[in-house]
Amino acid sequence: MTNTQSPGTSDQARASAALKPLQGTHFHLVPGIQKAVIERLVTDLLPQHRRDVLNEAIEAARGEYLHEQTGTPEDEAYNQGVSDVIAAIGTLLEGK
Residue 59 identity (one-letter amino acid):
E
* Residue 90, pLDDT above cutoff 70: yes
Task: Identify the DSSP state of 45.
Answer: I
What's the pLDDT score for residue 96? Answer: 56
Asked if residue 17 is part of any domain, the answer here is: yes
How do residues 37-88 score in pLDDT, each as one tens digit? 999 999 999 999 999 999 999 999 999 999 887 889 999 999 999 999 999 9
Task: Identify the DSSP state of 67.
Answer: S
Asked if residue 1 is part of any domain, the answer here is: no
pLDDT confidence band for 3 (50 / 70 / 90): very low
Structural domains in the chain (count): 1
Residue 25 identity (one-letter amino acid):
T
What's the pLDDT score for residue 2? Answer: 44
Rounded distance, CA 74 to CA 70, Å?
Answer: 9
pTM of the shown model? 0.68
Domain range enclosing 47: 7-95
Asked if residue 88 is part of any domain, the answer here is: yes
